[in-house]
Amino acid sequence: GVATKYLSHYLAWFKESNAKLDKRRILIAAYGGQQCYGT
């Protein structure tokens, strides 16, 4: 039904955004960019 359709859609988005977050974390770690966090 609608719930499963929505859930799979959400999971796909979640995986994608998670991958983007991981890439950003790797970049931040590589550059030692603490400024990115505003600290």
Provide the pLDDT for residue 20: 93
Instruction: Quote the mean pLDDT of the chain.
Output: 83
Both tokens assigned to 3: 């719930």
Percent of the chain clearing pLDDT 70 (strictly above): 82
Q: Does the predicted TM-score (pTM) go above 0.95? A: no
CA distance 7 to 19: 18
Provide the pLDDT for residue 26: 87
Average confidence (pLDDT) over 5-26 = 91
Residue 23 has pLDDT above 60, yes or no: yes
